Amino acid sequence: MFATQRPLTLAEMTAVLAPLGTPVAAEPLGGGTFSAVQLVKLADGKRLAVKTSVPDGEERPPLLTYECDLLRTERDLLRELRDDPAVPVPDLLLEDFTREHAPVDVIATEFLTSTPWSDLQETLPGEMNTQVGNSVGQIFAALQARTSGSFGYPANDFALGASTWPEAFHAMLSSVLEDANTWGVDVRADDVRRVLDRGEAALAEVETPALVHLDLWAGNVLLDPATATITAILDWERAAYADPLIEFVGSESTIHGPTNPNLYAGYLKAGGTLPLDPDAGTLSGLTRAADARTTLYRLYTVSIQQVEVVPRNFTGDWVPGHVAHLRSARDQLLDYALAALPAA
């Protein structure tokens, strides 16, 4: 269990879930590193996925700046998207933000007997993986039809956000660099700031705050394994209003180069537009400005992943390899950006 995860006890569960039935068994659901998620069986045989926030006060674990009221963001989007046929989400069955029965916020959704795409990618036929990639790209386009009056994370009335994208992204990235300093993590902060300064004009091209999931990697895509049909998109905690291009980065957060073409194909088919320019000479295949933004967004997601290792106290044989991979991705991105972007 990670430092931010605070599951419900059976007594707390019994009190919180009383409107839905009587819990008789519970077990942790793996895959996530932030919120605790439990599979709960009720006396009538129904199964629920129960997700909890981090506690406050003396029990509050160390958090990154952007990790503010994330479960409320997820709750809000599950409400908003529940009737949208283009974006399948689990049915929200219960919410409890009163802290009356437990020191955490709670949401309960239907439990779907589906399989994460990440567990199937290596065994699905190629055409099925292409189909799923296309479908995910179509979901990107459907989400981005929803807009806001502000950019950034919606929690606390866009406390980490602004009226323009350059201001909002500057605040978002700067908060991660400050977190890195707090936790003593080397993210090459001075070089990242240099790239951010050089990318200011590219960021200013973005004028509309579009809804993005921001963590829509294969582990958050549930599939019917027989048909490769998407049954639900999970984990809406990190959703924001931003440049649509950042969504593609969120789905492949540590790559250096072109985005999965299947995502692009589905996105374009669903009416999305992309600043493609095969003659620009960029690794992403996008215009120079869009390539600069994409590189900045990758630096943002890689920096978050570098920093979170420390406050969440990641342990295990996988951690050294994970950290080494992130450092390598960071260095590739920075070397490319510093060479490709002219000095401000």
> Domains of the chain, with CATH numbers?
10-110 (3.30.200.20), 115-340 (3.90.1200.10)
Altogether, the residues listed in the chain come to a count of 344
For 220, counting Cβ atoms within 10 Å of its Cβ (0-12 exposed, 13-18 middle, 19+ buried), the class is: buried
* This prediction's pTM: 0.95
Give the DSSP letter string of 9-73: PHHHHHHHTTTT--EEEEEE--S-SSSEEEEEEETTS-EEEEEE----GGGPPP--TT-SSHHHH
Longest dimension (CA), the chain: 65
Mean pLDDT calculated for residue range 35-48:
96
- Partnered with residue 107 across adjacent β-strands are 51, 95
Q: What is the pLDDT of residues 169-193, one digit of tens each?
A: 999 999 999 999 999 999 999 999 9
Helices 189-198, 288-308: axis angle to 10 degrees equals: 160
Nearest CA among 4, 14, 16 for reference residue 98: 16
pLDDT at residue number 344: 59
Per-residue pLDDT at 300 exceeds 80 = yes
Mean pLDDT calculated for residue range 237-252:
96
* Confidence band for 341, pLDDT divided at 50, 70 and 90: confident
At 44, list the tokens: 């009538």
**Average pLDDT taken over every residue of the chain:** 95
Give the other-Cβ count within 10 Å of 213's Cβ: 25
Q: What is the pLDDT of residues 73-92, one digit of tens each?
A: 999 999 999 999 999 999 99
Q: C-alpha dihedral over 192, 196, 198, 199, to 10 degrees?
A: 130
